[in-house]
Chains A and B, each alone.
Chain A
């Protein structure tokens, strides 16, 4: 792979699914039709914490067209789901623990009917006191969410994790300056434009579920558990997905378990489409965190110690909370070389909406704290934030704040920072905006009272699941008689471009043009469990399995080509008309001259000959991430990708309104398999991150979400989104296919902090309560006066 010219990888080729999507022909779950299909909707809890005394369904049942109403009593298997601990009921049994709990489900002939019938279900509750603040929840006498402690929880504390490296006390004693602040990054709602949905069918023995889902194997396991039937009798088929971002990771488990239950018992197709309100009220959110961050440095700006304490609101159920916790812990001190560091984290049950997977997995929250700390430190030292960062970043051969030896990566960060600073003209603008602001302070004209700011944030991101969690993927590649290629993997296309990227990897490995490759949709009865489509692991991990499978599938073809050409190694050249040929590996021939080049064999001939000689053209690719070290210890993550985002803003001092004018986003992706889709990931992630830092605010009162609609919960529109300059940095990784690392999450993680730091630069003080909404910015300005 080194030195050789790549045929397909690294090119901004058109997405394989684009044509379907621009013509409206893509099949999403809502586009599937089955004869005799029923509809389903749940009755949500009406309290944050209560005992269920009675569920009265007779009136709802008497509506003509209502087929049946399901409650916990109808679940034949386990009435619990949960990827880490099974603490979330399919249907609430005797207790509801948050407003999103499902108490019952109506199945009826039409959508209209299910809505009507749900309103006719009456539930008597004995309301119990709830707990809505994670710090209160840790106090001895607070109401308990899971009183029996079954899930490893102590009181309401689901889990504690932490580490200490070096001698933190001594570190702070040696510091000339200490910055100590509290940050409160809040919830974030995924707001995918397509809400969660699925359709289940069953003949009373086998069950098939079609759905908008990120992790089909999570769903399979949840359905098997709820129905009490073997996994082999369950088939989960992924349709096109209208956005996921972590919000369709484990969320579909409960949804699909309920639909599957109804289909299994009624033997009719059952469709469940969440309304926007059900979606926002019921599914996991980004974890809000209280982060107390203490950072010590020398007068020269060298970091010597960090102490971070994180308390996070887990809501009523664990979901993937402990994974988020681990990631938050490892990344809590940022991308810096800090000799002494100590981090403690507590994730705490409350009666609020449960929190779970969201692009970044705790990364954006801890970056808000660590990156605002860096700017605060820079301010106090009178130093340029860029220089302070460059002085302290961890680089190849160094040791992360958590203590991992960066022996295999670490050049990308400096490159990201320098490139982003250059392109955004950091030095010039920092200066110019300060002058502008100074002038504005003294101008008393009737013009808008505007301040300008430019701010940055730089991060590292542990790619894939991280040790010691097993992280492997499987993929098969089959080369058919006409030379076309079929790939299976358990990875899912959710809009990020997985199918295109995996197609490019397979095409490159086989040596054929992109359109030869077809990636099958994930179907648990056909594809292998490749682990979840999370943690930015599709390109590096599932992609590597795909590359290996494709290499194996093409090996007989290469052997035959070697024999015919009388050489030991061959490579592929694709002629201008698209025909692939094998040529000796060292042949000096360009694609344009291939016609006149004698030493070549047509790929199609090779395929035919292989089939004629009864050779197997099938490959199974398997890989697992190299997190295990020789000494038996695990790396936190097998590699890191790096990023630096720079934001430019204008702040209206009278209203607190912030406009983000520009984002310059440098992301190290190892190798951009498809630069256009990488740019798309960077731009989309950055705007989602900007939304989190700037405007997205989920308002809750005693566990109730007060703004469960897209009118009241604002995500960025085309008017809010700024100019974005994506910059691709490539520090090749030795494990990933063609050097690739992940991009899904590090595209979002630095942006909120970059925006907040730009606001800080503009108004001369930090906004630590996010988002930087007009209200929060205005308050910060007022409190300072």
Chain B
């Protein structure tokens, strides 16, 4: 991977929310800690630390992954997007808009991860069926909402995005 190994430390490069980062990390550094503690990206939530809940979902080259079970060296050369990276200034992403409008947020702890999975789904599949939405979100646990309003929000966002596209 072209990284320099020095005393358990590695040089890594990645693009984070559009910005090129080049830094030294401990080989065992978890991506979630790097994002939260080093980069101050508080949207990335930890619910289990073992890849079970999806609260830490982060896009790695456009694919939703659990950042709690990825090590920073594994993302060398890749592009990372967190919730902070999908808003443009004050303007919310349509998925965020619709989560608010449809009442898809309760405690909000699953919300960032849920939104990232939805964003990935809609970029891969702009007109998903309800079953496809349910499948795409099935790695993100939510204990508050019963998922109904989340699914409705994703459907509404798909519509909004397709209008925007036209």
1/0 contact trace for A386-428 toward B, CB 8 Å?
0000000000000000000000000000000000000000000
Is B155 in the interface zone, CB < 8 Å from A? no
**Known contacts A18-B99, A25-B42, A711-B50: A192-B135 contact under CB 8 Å:** no
Name the residue on A nearest B42 (C-beta).
A31
Query: How distant is the Cα of A241 from the Cα of B47 in the complex, in angstroms?
Result: 12
Interface residues on B, range: 35 or more
User: Across the interface, do B48 and A718 meet the contact criterion of CB distance under 8 Å?
Assistant: no
Query: How distant is the Cα of A15 from the Cα of B6 in the complex, in angstroms?
Result: 50
User: Across the interface, do A21 and B108 meet the contact criterion of CB distance under 8 Å?
Assistant: yes
Stretch with Cβ within 8 A of B (4 or more), from A527-535, A578-586, A673-681: A673-681
Stretch with Cβ within 8 A of B (4 or more), from A90-98, A331-339, A491-499: A491-499
Interfacial chain A residues near B140, Cβ < 8 Å: 718
Interfacial chain B residues near A717, Cβ < 8 Å: 137-139, 141, 147
1/0 contact trace for A491-523 toward B, CB 8 Å?
000111100000000000000000000000000
Q: State the interface size on chain A (CB cutoff 8 A).
A: 56
User: Across the interface, do A495 and B144 meet the contact criterion of CB distance under 8 Å?
Assistant: yes
Is B72 in the interface zone, CB < 8 Å from A? no
Interfacial chain A residues near B125, Cβ < 8 Å: none
User: Across the interface, do B143 and A23 meet the contact criterion of CB distance under 8 Å?
Assistant: no
Interfacial chain A residues near B134, Cβ < 8 Å: 718-719, 721
Interfacial chain B residues near A30, Cβ < 8 Å: 45-46
Is A684 in the interface zone, CB < 8 Å from B? yes
Is B87 in the interface zone, CB < 8 Å from A? yes
Name the residue on A nearest B131 (C-beta).
A719
User: Across the interface, do A684 and B106 meet the contact criterion of CB distance under 8 Å?
Assistant: yes
Interfacial chain A residues near B49, Cβ < 8 Å: 275-276
Query: How distant is the Cα of A105 from the Cα of B145 in the complex, in angstroms?
Result: 35
- Interface residues in B79-110 by Cβ distance below 8 A to A read 82-84, 87, 92, 96, 99-101, 103, 105-110
Q: Which of A240, A679, A684, A709 contacts B108 (CB 8 A)?
A: A240
- Interface residues in A716-757 by Cβ distance below 8 A to B read 716-719, 721, 723-724
Q: Which of A194, A686, A687 contacts B107 (CB 8 A)?
A: A194
Query: How distant is the Cα of A696 from the Cα of B100 in the complex, in angstroms?
Result: 30
- Interface residues in B28-51 by Cβ distance below 8 A to A read 41-50
**Known contacts A22-B96, A495-B144, A718-B137: A677-B103 contact under CB 8 Å:** yes
Query: How distant is the Cα of A194 from the Cα of B42 in the complex, in angstroms?
Result: 14
User: Across the interface, do A680 and B106 meet the contact criterion of CB distance under 8 Å?
Assistant: yes
Distance in Å from the Cβ of A708 to the closest Cβ of chain B? Answer: 11
Interfacial chain B residues near A14, Cβ < 8 Å: 100-101, 103
User: Across the interface, do B103 and A676 meet the contact criterion of CB distance under 8 Å?
Assistant: yes
Interfacial chain A residues near B44, Cβ < 8 Å: 24
**Known contacts A709-B52, A718-B150: A192-B143 contact under CB 8 Å:** yes
Query: How distant is the Cα of A559 from the Cα of B133 in the complex, in angstroms?
Result: 55
Is A602 in the interface zone, CB < 8 Å from B? no
User: Across the interface, do A24 and B109 meet the contact criterion of CB distance under 8 Å?
Assistant: no
Q: Which of A15, A275, A683, A687 contacts B100 (CB 8 A)?
A: A15
A-B contacts besides A24-B83, A719-B138, 13 pairs, CB < 8 Å: A19-B100, A21-B111, A24-B84, A192-B143, A193-B55, A194-B107, A680-B103, A680-B145, A684-B143, A685-B146, A711-B50, A717-B141, A719-B134
Pairs A-B, 4 closest by C-beta atoms: A24-B43, A495-B107, A242-B109, A21-B108
- Pull 10 A–B residue pairs with CB atoms less than 8 Å apart, ordered by A: A21-B105, A22-B92, A23-B43, A30-B46, A194-B55, A243-B107, A683-B145, A687-B146, A719-B134, A721-B146
